[in-house]
Homo-oligomer: A and B are copies of this chain.
């Protein structure tokens, strides 16, 4: 059994880069976030925007995020990002991301997220609920 891995490729845009000509660090966390949504969309076969309604959750908010920058990504580089769930807890999970350029690892990082519900009276108050076994099962491949 192996982890289900979601991969996408995209070019580095002018607006992603800072005066040193390399991607500004916060942009990598945008790339991570969107790949986390797409990973769930691909593994579960449900559009990202329909995940909350389909599974009765409010979202998959972040508990922590981190990145190591090994090699700069520059304007017009074609990057590939590969994302997988590294570990499922009872109500949280870790998404691991690896960004490569021409096969070389440029950035690696991870996010801890919660399978969350929210206070009906205050959408900004959220807490974890148990992740269904059938969800977890979709993130491994035979």
Identical chains bound together, number: 4
Q: B residues within 8 A CB of A90? A: none
- Cβ 8 A contact of A61, one of B20, B47, B68: B20
Q: B residues within 8 A CB of A48? A: 11, 14, 75-76
Q: How far is the CA of A15 from the CA of B48 in the complex (A)?
A: 12
Interface check A91, CB cutoff 8 A: no
Interface size on A, residues (CB 8 A): 43
Q: B residues within 8 A CB of A20? A: 19, 58-59, 61, 118, 123-124, 126
In the A-B complex, list the 4 residue pairs whose CB atoms are closest, starting with the nearest: A49-B76, A66-B66, A26-B29, A26-B26
- A residues sitting closer than 8 Å to B (CB atoms) are 11, 13-15, 17-22, 24-27, 29-30, 33-34, 37, 47-50, 58-59, 61-69, 72, 74-76, 118, 123-126
21 pairs across A/B with beta carbons < 8 Å?
Answer: A13-B33, A14-B34, A14-B48, A15-B33, A17-B18, A19-B19, A19-B20, A19-B21, A20-B58, A22-B61, A22-B124, A25-B65, A48-B75, A49-B74, A49-B75, A61-B72, A63-B68, A64-B66, A65-B67, A66-B66, A74-B124
